[in-house]
């Protein structure tokens, strides 16, 4: 196959797609509207902190096979770190109680019978209720499928599902939650080890991918915003980028790996998710105290997950639409008060901080929005779609975006 594959968008979906195509010897042209690659998964130098930070803390689990495969292909699997065994530290800030959730590695979940491995105040049978998610009916919400109250809900399922789906879990798609559960907890603790890009997302997912692509002859064009797709005879005839046009010959194809609102503007009649949820991250330039876990789940606070990097403490708040209009300094103060109480670091002075609000962090993982997700294949003969918002069967995650890129590459003929 000799044609050029035009990949539009250098987020993880576009990078993963370009990588697989280039590996199989296809000629790839990669376009990105921004001045840098990474999209919603990026690192950048924050001048006010004097640090390189991520737009948002990203958590992977060891069962995310595509993300690990991608990291391996770009030579970056060492950049993802986490405990050797599955262990999640939690703090209930309302009671001061701390615990560590420790599912056993194998598929048979004997850990639920061991009190020190499970959530305080819960019994083994409580855990079985979430199994309903694995068999959820099409269109059902989590609220319609499992019990959404009680200590296990408050201390495990709500925080875990909120971060996996980035939406208040009761209204989220039970099918999407089931897919996450099937590939993680239900697959055993070996599939649930937390993995974090300790030196940043750029270092783990983006820079090594660009180096690998360049070594294969793919030089991304930055600042190339696709403004129009010209269609002729059921196929894409040209891509228009403002001052540049790429005409497509026979054998050429396009993978559109841009966000859904852009894809809808460019592709006539495309149905795609159109409701989104925010994520707010707070970064504090301060060294974590000795013994601070890499990741701490916090209950009863605005702070949901506290990440400890060598040079900063960073907080993630999912489904954060209610905070989007809040004053940034007020947010920083509130969050720091919680973090200092959890870590024992001084409450004052407020360390140098940064608040990053990502308004359209993910599509809203409701049954109705999930239904709007299109297949990678379109009705145009030489146009495919990729992105976390396409029909991956997963919520909007790194894993979903990489799988979508792989799938598009396979369909194009990698
Ligand atoms: C704050 C935050 C925290 C998150 N936390 C997690 C987490 O813990 N774990 C997890 O697995 N996932 C997490 N995610 C989700 C994850 O980041 C996304 O699922 C993933 O990065 C999406 O990649 P993508 O390539 O599908 O889309 P995008 O990253 O949106 O990539 C699309 C690219 O297309 C480019 N583009 C747009 N328009 C055009 C155009 N007209 N022409 C050319 N290029 C264009 C954009 O600039 C962008 O680079 C988080 C997301 C955010 C925002």
| CB 345 within 8 Å of CB 286 | yes
Q: Is the pLDDT of residue 2 over 90?
A: no
| CB 296 within 8 Å of CB 342 | yes
| CB 278 within 8 Å of CB 320 | yes
In tens, the pLDDT along 232-280 reads: 999 999 999 988 999 999 999 999 999 999 999 999 999 999 999 999 9
- Written as six digits, the tokens of 232 are 């002729």
Question: Which residue's structure tokens are 């080890």?
Answer: 193
Residues 379 and 382: their CA atoms lie apart, in Å, by 9
Residues 388 and 86: their CA atoms lie apart, in Å, by 26
H helices present in 286-390, as ranges: 328-343, 367-371
Q: Is the pLDDT of residue 218 over 90?
A: yes
For residue 280, the ligand 1 atom closest to its alpha carbon is 1
In tens, the pLDDT along 133-147 reads: 999 999 999 999 999
Mean pLDDT, residues 20-36 taken together = 98
For residue 266, the ligand 1 atom closest to its alpha carbon is 41
Residue 221 bridge partners (DSSP): 31
Question: Which residue's structure tokens are 């901080």?
Answer: 353
Q: Is the pLDDT of residue 1 over 70?
A: no
User: Is residue 229 helix, strand or coil?
Assistant: strand
For residue 9, the CA-to-ligand 1 centroid distance in Å is 9
Question: What percent of the chain has a predicted confidence (pLDDT) above 90?
Answer: 98
Tell the residue nearest (CA) to atom 10 of ligand 1: 397
For residue 289, the CA-to-ligand 1 centroid distance in Å is 32
In tens, the pLDDT along 238-251 reads: 999 988 999 999 99
Mean pLDDT, residues 35-51 taken together = 97
Residue 196 bridge partners (DSSP): 59, 81
For residue 258, the CA-to-ligand 1 centroid distance in Å is 9
Of the CA atoms within 13 Å of residue 198, those in its CB half-sphere come to 13
For residue 11, the CA-to-ligand 1 centroid distance in Å is 5
Name the CATH superfamily housing domain 4-44+201-274+366-412. Answer: FAD/NAD(P)-binding domain (3.50.50.60)
For residue 398, the ligand 1 atom closest to its alpha carbon is 11
Residue 92 bridge partners (DSSP): 97, 299
Output phi, psi for 189, to 5 deg.
-60, -25
Could you tell me the residue ranges of all domains in the chain?
4-44+201-274+366-412, 101-191
């Amino acid at each position: 196959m000799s044609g050029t594959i035009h990949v539009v968008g250098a987020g993880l979906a576009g990078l993963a797609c370009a990588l697989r195509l280039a590996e199989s010897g296809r000629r790839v042209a990669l376009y990105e509207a921004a001045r840098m690659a990474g999209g919603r998964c990026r690192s950048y130098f924050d001048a006010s902190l004097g640090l390189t930070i991520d737009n948002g803390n990203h958590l992977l689990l060891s069962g995310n096979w595509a993300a690990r495969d991608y990291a391996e292909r770009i030579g970056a699997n060492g950049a993802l770190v986490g405990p050797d065994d599955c262990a999640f530290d939690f703090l209930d800030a309302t009671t001061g109680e701390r615990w560590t959730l420790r599912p056993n590695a194998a598929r048979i979940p004997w850990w639920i019978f061991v009190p020190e491995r499970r959530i305080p105040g819960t019994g083994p049978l409580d855990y079985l209720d979430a199994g309903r998610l694995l068999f959820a009916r099409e269109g059902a919400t989590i609220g319609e499928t499992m019990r959404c109250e009680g200590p296990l809900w408050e201390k495990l399922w709500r925080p875990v599902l909120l971060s996996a789906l980035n939406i208040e879990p009761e209204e989220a798609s039970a099918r999407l939650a089931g897919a996450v559960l099937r590939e993680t907890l239900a697959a055993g603790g070996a599939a649930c080890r937390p993995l974090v890009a300790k030196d940043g997302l750029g270092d783990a997912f983006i820079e090594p991918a660009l180096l690998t692509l360049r070594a294969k002859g793919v030089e991304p064009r930055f600042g190339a915003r696709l403004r129009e797709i010209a269609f002729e005879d059921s196929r894409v005839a040209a891509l228009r980028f403002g001052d540049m046009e790429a005409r497509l010959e026979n054998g050429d194809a396009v993978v559109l790996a841009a966000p859904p609102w852009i894809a809808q503007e460019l592709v006539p009649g495309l149905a795609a998710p159109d409701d989104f949820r925010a994520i707010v991250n707070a970064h504090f330039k301060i060294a974590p105290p000795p013994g601070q876990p890499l990741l701490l789940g916090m209950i009863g606070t605005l702070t949901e997950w506290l990440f400890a990097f060598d040079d900063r403490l960073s907080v993630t708040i999912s489904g954060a639409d209610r905070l989007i209009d809040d004053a940034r300094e007020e947010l920083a103060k509130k969050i720091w008060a919680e973090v200092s109480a959890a870590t024992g670091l001084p409450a004052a002075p407020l360390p140098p901080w940064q608040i990053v609000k990502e308004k359209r962090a993910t599509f809203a993982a409701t049954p109705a929005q999930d239904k709007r997700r299109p297949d990678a294949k379109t009705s145009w003969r030489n146009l495919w779609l990729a992105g976390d918002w396409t029909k991956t069967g997963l919520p909007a995650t790194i894993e979903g975006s990489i799988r979508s890129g792989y799938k598009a590459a396979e369909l194009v003929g990698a």
